[in-house]
Structure 1
Amino acid sequence: MRGNWRWVAAMVVCVAACIVLPLLWRHAMVDLKVYRLGGSTLLDNAKALYDVRLAGTPLPFTYPPFAAVVMVPFALVPWPAAAVGWTAITLVALVAVWRLCVSLPSAAMLGVVAASLLLEPVRETLGFGQINLMLCALILYDVLNTKHSRRGIWIGIAAGIKLTPLVFFGLLVVTRQWKALAYATAGFAATVLIGFAVTPRAAATYWTSLVSDATRVGGLAFSSNQSWNGFLVRVQGDLDGGGPVWLVLVALTALAGLYFCRILWDQGDRLAAVSVCGLLGLLCSPVSWSHHWVWCIPLGVAVLQRLPGRLKVAFGILWCTVFAAAPIWWPPNHENRELEWTFSEQLAGNAYLIAATLAVVALVTYSVKSSRHAVTSSCQSV
């Protein structure tokens, strides 16, 4: 009887998500259209890969050449088939992310997955037709599944599609996973070589100039940019970026974060280690749009697994509320209105950064307690 009620509750969550999600659906999968533009341009005129714009918009193709190769199958089919297929793969990836993060009964897993559709990074990924959940699932599989013989290769391939997964090379280095690092390097190198083989001119343009051009991806001040750089732009009012302050902050964040990843890995908490590394990529990248924050799922699970009962409930409610209600959109936004935010608007508009900081504080606190407990137990056993 209890099992039946679990399934009823899960179905209620599914129905609620199906009702609410269309009300929040936006963007008409415009990023998938850009992906398909890359694939179709590769077929029609590969040299023009970084010159074309999506019809009716200023949006260019901004990804490595290998990403355009991956998108060719979606460019070859009609738009309805591409949209349905992409959405289906994204939903499969969402399920995979949850299954890699936590073990739950089937009914509970169904309810959790359905509820997570309402998290702003997830629904924005679906609305834009973004690739974030697919990459997140690939990386989690590569890091957490220690049984497959070519660990690291999916990290390299993910980085060849979208450069941000390069941060996970740092995780492999600090945890001394040299074999996985070799596979990751080989995988990434293969994607670069494939890009040059398919379109030498466009590949040369990308890797020599466009790779460091953050202006092609949108306004840095936009509230959706939940990175240290976006935060500093909004606080300082400097549209060119955070400048030297940002560089120092990135260096400190990377060094401290990777050191903490090593501690978590040595403690056996691989989910926390890979989640913190994913967070490093979000914080340190010049641009981390809100839909990149699908890492809120593994990071939230990692923190919940560390916290005791009452704190677990409080943190879970707070975490889900922040990423479902998305206060980053409450203050005035677009057209650089973010530069005029008041203090309270800064708090709401940088909510993901604040929530992530609290999550890291919680992980640090309880990892220190875990280390002390391990030392105490060792001393007592002696």
Structure 2
Amino acid sequence: MQALHAHARIKRSAVVTLLCLGAGLAILLYQQRYALSWLGVDHAAIRDWWQGEGLYAYRSPDHRVGTALSPVAALLLAPAARLPLPVTGWLLALAGLAALVLGLVALAGPVARRYGKPRGRTVLVAAALALLTEPVRSTLGLGALDLLLFALVTADVVALRRSAWARSRAAWWPGPPASQPVRSSASALRRGWADRSPVAVLRRGWATGTWAGVGIGIATALAVSPAIFLLYLMVSRQWRAALIALGTTATLLTGAALIAPGTTAAWFGSVLPQIDRSGPPDAPANQSLAGVLDRLYDTAGTPVLIWLSFAVLLLAVGLIRARSAHADGDEIAAFTLVGLTAAAIGPVSRIHELIWILPAVLILVDAAARQRFPARRPLRPRRVPGAGYAVAAALIYLLLVLDPIWTAGWNGYAFVLILLLNVLPWRPGVASAIPVRRGPAPARRTPAIPGPRGS
């Protein structure tokens, strides 16, 4: 028996070692291909900032582009700017890879558990497949922060789910809170509620999800696009998380204004309105609606009125469908729809910012599996159940794996964004942020924009 356990440990160690070597080789290849060009501009701008120059006064000698980092992100990367660029790139890539794995633990882990598959193996396979896609390749190769933003927003999905669990347990238990079974970590923490030590407070906060909103708040302070998740929290009436996110963002920006008032004022005053600071909006890498219209009309600037009209429509569709997914108990699909909306309506959404297509592929795969192995027998069985979702997931993943030279020219990512925004299914009761009620649920109004649901 001990020999079998030792052999299993050696096998697991060998697999982990091979995966680490493969991830390191992938990072090396991606950084050689993209040359850390995004991070190089930020790195040089922060170094000039250290020497007394303006953070946003730097322009790259090759392409004449400047950094668009927020003051909070610049302060976060300031210590790493003392290191050589390759070292900073490796540190940021390792942090991004860890963020990707943690995000997939929260997103792919429940799917594996539902079908009785090993969660660790499923997450590793999903991470390996994600590592081959262009959004992850370009993020690691350019030295962008998008994987860290993705993990911060995903952390709030976990927090909202834990909050719903805690409230459901409190509502279901018929007796006093102190008599709840010890097997529930939240009930055990509730017994020791009088303990005010920092460790106990952190444990209670982690178990009950009271920190929901902190991840979105930090991500919004680091970049602008995650602010749409704050709007979603308000639309879905998750007021506590929305207030925490707003307070976190305000606190971080206020701290940045106290440390670097001139830089913060310049960022709000001149950098935010300058959408071409990191490159021309009509470049093929810009796969947002504005970029498509810019290339379609072949004008010096984006047709603002047409873009605003369609952007407002897409924003309404995305938020309404996200609210419906939230009401049906699929918070992962709700956040994915919001992330797709942010990428579609933004003035500039480059390929490395399209990271939310990955959980959309995961949702399609899960929806196909739910139709292939339904909880109850359907009235009209299909010949190939779930084939549509499976084919869609395979085609979108193939698009993400291909070189952008073959896909960005015909706006493939932009079309996929808009298509997923309108037809992405959600799975009722998968990752609810609403306490589960006993008995029949109250009648709910039909959404203004209905959408497909995974059966």
Normalization by structure 2: what TM-score? 0.70
Aligned to 2:101: 95
Amino acid at match of 1:32: L
SS of the residue corresponding to residue 264 of structure 1 reads helix
- Checking the alignment, whether the CA contact within 8 Å between 1:138 and 1:154 is kept in structure 2 is yes
Residue 109 of structure 1: CA displacement? 2.4
**2:392 pairs with 1:318:** no
Out of 30, 35, 45, which is 1:28 matched to? 35
Paired positions, count: 351
- Checking the alignment, whether the CA contact within 8 Å between 1:40 and 1:75 is kept in structure 2 is yes
Query: What is the distance in 1 between the residues matched to 2:319 and 2:87?
Result: 41
- Checking the alignment, whether the CA contact within 8 Å between 2:153 and 2:219 is kept in structure 1 is yes
Query: What is the distance in 2 between the residues matched to 1:154 and 1:14?
Result: 27
- Checking the alignment, whether the CA contact within 8 Å between 2:99 and 2:148 is kept in structure 1 is yes
Deviation per CA, 1:124-167: give whole Å up to 9, x if none. 11110111011001101113322332211221111111111111
Aligned to 2:289: 228
Out of 139, 143, 151, which is 2:212 matched to? 151
- Checking the alignment, whether the CA contact within 8 Å between 1:142 and 1:151 is kept in structure 2 is yes
Q: Cα distance 1:123–1:97, how it changes in 2: closer, same or farther (>3 A)?
A: same
SS of the residue corresponding to residue 413 of structure 2 reads helix
Q: Cα distance 1:75–1:200, how it changes in 2: closer, same or farther (>3 A)?
A: same
- Checking the alignment, whether the CA contact within 8 Å between 1:171 and 1:277 is kept in structure 2 is yes
Residue 253 of structure 1: CA displacement? 0.9
Q: Cα distance 1:139–1:118, how it changes in 2: closer, same or farther (>3 A)?
A: same
Amino acid at match of 1:195: A
Please list every run of 5 or more consecutive structure 2 residues that lacks an aligned counterpart in the other structure: 113-117, 163-208, 372-385, 429-439, 442-455
Amino acid at match of 1:121: P
Aligned to 2:46: 39
Q: Cα distance 1:365–1:201, how it changes in 2: closer, same or farther (>3 A)?
A: closer
Residue 10 of structure 1: CA displacement? 9.6
Q: CA RMSD in A?
A: 3.0
Amino acid at match of 1:65: P
Query: What is the distance in 2 between the residues matched to 1:312 and 1:205?
Result: 47
Say which one has the larger Rg.
2
Give runs of aligned pairs for residues 322-337 of structure 1, distance below 5 A: 322-326=399-403, 328-330=404-406
Give runs of aligned pairs for residues 163-312 of structure 1, distance below 5 A: 163-307=224-368, 308=371, 309-312=386-389
Amino acid at match of 2:107: C
Query: What is the distance in 2 between the residues matched to 1:16 and 1:49?
Result: 36
Aligned to 1:70: 76
Work out the percentage of aligned pairs sharing the same amino acid: 26
Amino acid at match of 1:141: A
**2:132 pairs with 1:125:** no
Give runs of aligned pairs for residues 42-53 of structure 1, distance below 5 A: 42-45=49-52, 48-53=54-59
Residue 38 of structure 1: CA displacement? 4.2
Q: Cα distance 1:22–1:170, how it changes in 2: closer, same or farther (>3 A)?
A: same
- Checking the alignment, whether the CA contact within 8 Å between 2:69 and 2:222 is kept in structure 1 is yes
Query: What is the distance in 1 between the residues matched to 2:50 and 2:16?
Result: 45
Q: Cα distance 1:13–1:86, how it changes in 2: closer, same or farther (>3 A)?
A: closer
**2:214 pairs with 1:137:** no
Q: Cα distance 1:83–1:190, how it changes in 2: closer, same or farther (>3 A)?
A: same
The answer to which structure has the higher helix fraction is 1
Query: What is the distance in 2 between the residues matched to 1:153 and 1:365?
Result: 25
Query: What is the distance in 1 between the residues matched to 2:92 and 2:148?
Result: 10
- Checking the alignment, whether the CA contact within 8 Å between 2:281 and 2:291 is kept in structure 1 is yes
Residue 204 of structure 1: CA displacement? 1.4
**2:351 pairs with 1:351:** no
Normalization by structure 1: what TM-score? 0.83
Residue 119 of structure 1: CA displacement? 0.2
Residue 56 of structure 1: CA displacement? 4.6
Please list every run of 5 or more consecutive structure 1 residues that lacks an aligned counterpart in the other structure: 334-347, 368-377
Q: Cα distance 1:259–1:79, how it changes in 2: closer, same or farther (>3 A)?
A: same
Q: Cα distance 1:240–1:311, how it changes in 2: closer, same or farther (>3 A)?
A: same
